Amino acid sequence: MNNAECNEQDVNFICERVLWYLKEMAQDPKALTKYFSEHRLDALYNITDPKFGMIIIGREASQRFFEIAHRFLASQPEKKGKTDVAEFVGKLQKEFSRRFIHGAEDATRSNIDRMISRAHKACVKDHKALRHYIPCALFLGEAVPRFPMGPVTFIHQKEFFATHKNEIEALRRDIAASHQKRSQEAIAKGMPEKDAPTEAQSQGWADHLVKGLVSFFEEFQWIAVVDVPACNAAVSYDRAVFLTRSALNIIKLLLGAQYTYRLRTAEDRGHSRETAKLSRESGGKLDISLSYTPFDNVVGDNWLEVLKQSGRIFDLACRALELCMGFAEAPPLCLRFIESLSWYGDGVAETSPAAKIVKFVTAIEGMTGTGMEKDDAGKDRGVTEIVTHRGAILHMLFTEGKFEDSLPKINKVYDWRSDLVHGSVSPFDGSVAECVPKAEEMARFVLLGGLNYFSHLGLENPAFKTKELAEAYRELEKMHCQPPAPRPLPAT
C-alpha cells in the first residue's frame, strides 16, 4: 500500500475504536470495566474531545497516530529534523477530534491529508530560532576567554557574566512584570482578586528564578553558546546539547583521555564536586571526611595552542560538526564519524573500566564495520576479521607504522572486549583496569586515522553510503593487508 492508503486505513481504524467506545462501552459501564480488566493497557490510551471529553481508544489505535506522523515525516527529512514527534501526534489527535468527531467529516483521503497538513502547520507555527547557553566542565583557568569550534562557541564563565550580567539582572524586573500581567489577565477572566499574587510575591518568584540560574551557571567554568535555526523548542535544545557534547568529544579525541576525562555538559552525569565520607574504626568513633574536586580538568594554560596544533584534523573535526548543524541527516561518512566519536567520548567519561573497553571497541567498530561481506573467493568474512583488519590499517595510517605491528594490538583490544561481553573475564577482574589505557589509545588513533581517510573519500558526499565505504575499505585492505606467511612443513 502507498502512504495515502495506509493513512486511510489507520484513520478508519481509529474511527472504529472511537465509535466502539462512544456507542458501546461508554453506554455500559459494566462492559467497560470488564473489557479493561482483560485489556489493561488499553485504558492508558485516549484522546480528548471538546464535546465528549476523554475518549479511550486503546493502545493500537493510539499507535496508529504515531505511524501517520512517522510516515509523513519520513519522506521529508528537513521537516522531520525540526519536528518533535510527540508534539506532532498531539496536534494530529486534536485535529482528528476537530474534523472527524466534533465536525463529523467523512474520513476521505483528501480530508485525511488536510488533517495531517494542518496538524504539522500548527507545529511549525511555534517553531523559533533560539540561542542556547549550555554550562560545561572543560579546563580550569582564565587564560582563554572564548574559543569557537564549528557551530559551538565556548565562553569562559567570567566573560559570560561580564557580558550578560546587566541583562540577567533585568530579568528580575521583566519576569515580575510579566507575572503580574498574567495575574491581572486571570482576574479579568474571573479569578478572585484575593487569590492573585501580590507584586512582592511576583518579585520573589522572579528573584528565585534568577538566583537559581546564576547559582547553577556559577558551578561551571564554561558556557557553550549554540545558535539553532527555527524548529521545535525541545528539538532545538537537544540539538544544542548534541552539538556541544560532540565538540567536547572532539577535544577528548585530540588531547586524549588523560587530560579530558572530566569534560561534560551540565546535562551529563559526572563526578560530584563535593563528597562526604563517613566511617568508623572497630569500636571507635565516627569519622567524617570532606573533599572538594573541580568539575574541570586541570591542565596548563596552553591547552588551546596544543589543541590547534592538530591543524588539519582539528579543522576536519569542526567541519564534521558543522555538517551536523542542519536538520536533514548529515552526510553518511560525517555521521559515521560523529557517532563513533560519541562512543569514544562516552568511554573517556565512563568510570567502569569494563564499560570503557566496551565503548572504545564499539567506537572502532563504528568506523570500520559495514555489515556482512564476502571475500574474493565468495566466502563469508567474520565481523572480527573486518573490524580488526580495517582498524589496524587506520591505526597504521595515523601512526605511520606497519600493518603487522598494528594488527596484534587491535586484536588484543578486541579480545578484551569479547572476553568481557561473553563472560570469559569478570568486569571486576583487577586486570581489566590495566587494559583501559591501551584500548583508549587504539580507539583514539583509529578514529583520527579514520577521519583523515573519510576526508579523502568525501566527508561531505551525501552519496557515499555503506556500500561505497565497504568497496573503498576492500581496496584499502588489498593495498595494506599482507597475506599470512606460509606455515613451515613439519619435519619428516
Asked if the structure places residue 399 within a domain, the reply is yes
Would you state the cell numbers that stand for residue 91, as one nine-digit string? 496536534
Asked if the structure places residue 492 within a domain, the reply is no
Q: Indicate whether 192 and 95 sit together in one domain.
A: no
The share of the chain scoring above pLDDT 70, in percent, equals 97
Number of domains into which the chain is organized:
3
Instruction: Let me know: does 365 contact 446? Beta carbons within 8 Å.
Output: no
* Number of C-beta neighbours around residue 448 at 10 A: 21
pLDDT reading at 315 higher than 90: yes
Looking at residues 293-320, what average pLDDT do you find? 86
Q: Indicate whether 359 and 477 sit together in one domain.
A: yes
pLDDT reading at 492 higher than 70: no
pLDDT of residue 429: 87
Q: Indicate whether 59 and 145 sit together in one domain.
A: no
Q: Indicate whether 95 and 184 sit together in one domain.
A: no
Please give the model's pTM, rounded to 2 decimal places: 0.88
Q: Indicate whether 161 and 277 sit together in one domain.
A: yes
Label residues 39-66 b or e (16+ Cβ within 10 Å = b): eeebeebbbebeeeeebbbbeebbebbe
Asked if the structure places residue 104 within a domain, the reply is yes
Closest C-alpha to 160, from 132, 131, 133: 133
Among residues 275, 300, 328, the one where a domain terminates is 328
Q: Indicate whether 184 and 103 sit together in one domain.
A: no
Asked if the structure places residue 182 within a domain, the reply is yes
Look over the chain and give the mean of its residue pLDDT values, rounded to a whole number: 89
- Whole domain around residue 430: which residue ranges? 329-487
pLDDT band at 485 (very low <50, low <70, confident <90, very high): low
Q: Indicate whether 83 and 172 sit together in one domain.
A: no
Which backbone phi and psi does 108 adopt, to 5 degrees?
Answer: -85, 165
pLDDT reading at 25 higher than 80: no
Q: 44 or 94, which is more confident?
A: 94
Give tens-digit pLDDT for 113-163: 999 999 999 999 999 999 999 999 999 888 899 999 999 999 999 999 999
Among residues 90, 124, 158, the one where a domain terminates is 124
Asked if the structure places residue 37 within a domain, the reply is yes
Q: Indicate whether 82 and 149 sit together in one domain.
A: no
Among residues 124, 147, 172, the one where a domain terminates is 124
Q: Indicate whether 293 and 423 sit together in one domain.
A: no
